[in-house]
Structure 1
């Protein structure tokens, strides 16, 4: 039995699957990750501002125009479509096997594929709000805005994406729900994440179930603790799993 067949077997015998994923989940949909050789942190290394600076709260407050130039050019991918990973997870949820998708991504592709119980640790580009009156704005509103920095049509306040920037805390309710989902799962699928971003990466330590499967192209500090390690592209692997499940 090869690794993919083992994964299929564990999925078939599981009733409470949880998926914890990162940027690598969406690279096959054309969205770059952060830390790989082709990721944002590498491609932007010659910028006068490192990505960690550009994506910090103090930088947004002081230089919203530069932030939005980077954000629109590098972080928004409205044409991206779900890949095999997103589609399989939506199927497993629809079949009642998967309890939750916990994601570090902000692209909304899990919901686009049909997943409903998605816990977005770092927020979403699809939610934006005026910092003053809290009026909601969609991703389309941000893209269509003629202003370098989108402003509220009601009060004129600056519109901020509902994404967690450096120096900002994660939503406590989302963290609580994530811990609860992982601690009660019988199969934990971890995919497309370097497991270096805290406190999100610490969440997998709450798993007490039967098997942990790690699907990641590059090594992580958690490799030796996983029951099954798969390094092939996650979208392709999940496509194969989908076919083998019938």
Structure 2
């Protein structure tokens, strides 16, 4: 409880907070992560194709039917709801304290909770574009497609989710904006990430402030640099922090 009280105190004292998060931010919302014991990379080990391969650009191009079968079945969670972490960050943004949420997630839960300054390093399932005519399609339209591989009704091109696949570069403007936000923060909250996916994981090195908090169930490469470490469920922790802050 003392660590949670310290975190609440630091949030009260801070004016420029940035949150950097990964898949663990959404596990309490029912969306599995990738690398934990219950994550996709473990539970899909008996598949003929490993998830890392199926989520690559080259596999998408060569076998879009298998890609979309996996993507629709494992990556889309339209009914998932934000948890305590998403809600507290949105409330702190309303207060002017949280300046940006930098996320590796593609689920859109931060926006669903009310956050507006969200930098999506790996894109979003809610944005989809025709590879032919570049027409935009929402998630609902993709899910409603009668075909396994969604096709554009205008040119019959394949509709690709606006998510960064393996072998694809990150959006440079999103990357630069994330660097700037983290570099200018007086409190960095890092949550639900193993900090092993590069180049995203390297972003925490841009933090120049004195206080950084790591909220993760398992140890990470950033542990020795963090000012405060809380190894517990991030949604529950942020719920408690919110209560201490009067939310």
TM category (shorter chain) comes to: over 0.9
Aligned to 1:44: 44
**Pairwise CA distance, 1:135:** 0.3
Q: Where do 5+ consecutive residues of structure 1 fail to align?
A: none
Separation in 2, partners of 1:166, 1:50? 12
Separation in 2, partners of 1:156, 1:243? 51
**Pairwise CA distance, 1:176:** 0.5
RMSD of aligned alpha carbons: 0.6
Judge which range, 105-114 or 219-228, deviates more: 219-228
Separation in 2, partners of 1:244, 1:210? 23
Aligned to 1:93: 93
Taking structure 1 as the reference length, the TM-score comes to 0.99
**Pairwise CA distance, 1:224:** 1.1
**Pairwise CA distance, 1:208:** 0.4
Aligned to 1:33: 33
Aligned to 2:214: 214
- Count how many residue pairs are aligned between Structure 1 and Structure 2: 246
Runs of 4+ in 1 over 3 A off after TM superposition: none
Match status 1:243 vs 2:247: no
Separation in 1, partners of 2:197, 2:148? 30
Aligned to 2:2: 2
Aligned to 2:234: 234
- Deviation string 1:53-102 (CA, Å, 9 cap, x unpaired) is 00000000000000000000000000000000000000000000000000
Aligned to 1:59: 59
User: Equivalent residues in 2 for 1:53-202 (5 A)?
Assistant: 53-202=53-202
- Deviation string 1:111-154 (CA, Å, 9 cap, x unpaired) is 00000000000000000000010000100011100001000011
**Pairwise CA distance, 1:210:** 2.0
**Pairwise CA distance, 1:225:** 0.9
Taking structure 2 as the reference length, the TM-score comes to 0.99
Separation in 2, partners of 1:182, 1:217? 22
